[in-house]
């Protein structure tokens, strides 16, 4: 990858041997290794047996999970907040695992629509809950810095499964919790 980054620097008219750019190919490779590290994560290893039997019936919600990803169309960042909720069916997951699942999928080349679905489907597969809801609000630098150049635009995506999809009362409770944090 370092040779390719050096080539890109040459193609945009830069001197990759000047002091400020000498180690840039190495730094870019290291950054991309981190930013795409989600490809190397296995969901079962990530969860690490942190699923527990528990009889509870309310919505479990982790909101305002910071997330950073790379748009697969321009390799530019998009960033925002994910809100992930589920209704247990006698099983719960360690709460730190939910942001880790968000990171696992966000640290891949992505489109926000797929990212939202992947998070919801992963939680559905490992827990088999009564319902899962995921809402992501993000800003895309590919829209802000280039193209339409709309700095204040935000993209909202959602994926509702089970009770969140079929029961409007449950869905509205979930969305109200995201908006207000009140029960």
Task: Indicate which residue of 83, 110, 118, 140 is catalytic.
Answer: 140
Task: Indicate which residue of 4, 54, 66, 72 is catalytic.
Answer: 72
126 and 93 Cβ atoms separated by less than 8 Å: yes
Task: Indicate which residue of 2, 14, 124, 142 is catalytic.
Answer: 142
Task: Indicate which residue of 66, 73, 113, 151 is catalytic.
Answer: 73
Q: Is 112 a catalytic residue?
A: yes
Bridge partners (DSSP) of residue 22 are none
Bridge partners (DSSP) of residue 119 are none
Identify the CA nearest to 156 among candidates 99, 118, 113, 107.
113
Task: Indicate which residue of 83, 110, 112, 159 is catalytic.
Answer: 112
Q: Is 159 a catalytic residue?
A: no
Q: Is 140 a catalytic residue?
A: yes
Task: Indicate which residue of 71, 118, 163, 173 is catalytic.
Answer: 71
Q: Is 74 a catalytic residue?
A: yes
Q: Write the CA distances from 61 to 82, 84, 93, 156, integer angstroms.
A: 11, 6, 11, 18
Q: Is 124 a catalytic residue?
A: no
Q: Is 118 a catalytic residue?
A: no
Residues assigned a catalytic role: 71-74, 112, 140, 142
């Amino acid at each position: 990858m370092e040779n390719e980054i050096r080539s890109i620097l040459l193609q945009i008219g830069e001197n990759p041997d000047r002091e400020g750019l000498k180690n840039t190919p190495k730094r870019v490779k290291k950054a991309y290794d981190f930013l795409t590290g989600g490809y190397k994560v296995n969901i079962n290893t990530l969860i690490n047996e942190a699923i527990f039997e528990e009889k509870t019936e309310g919505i479990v919600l982790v909101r305002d999970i910071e997330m950073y990803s790379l748009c697969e169309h321009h390799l530019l960042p998009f960033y925002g907040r994910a809100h992930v909720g589920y209704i247990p069916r006698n099983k719960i997951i360690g709460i730190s695992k939910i942001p880790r699942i968000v990171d696992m999928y966000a640290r891949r080349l992505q489109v926000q629509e797929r990212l939202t679905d992947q998070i919801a489907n992963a939680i559905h597969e490992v827990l088999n809950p009564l319902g899962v809801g995921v809402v992501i609000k993000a800003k895309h630098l590919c829209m802000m810095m280039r193209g339409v150049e709309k700095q204040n635009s935000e993209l909202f995506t959602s994926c509702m499964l089970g009770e969140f999809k079929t029961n409007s009362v449950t869905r509205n409770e979930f969305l109200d919790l995201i908006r207000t944090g009140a029960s």
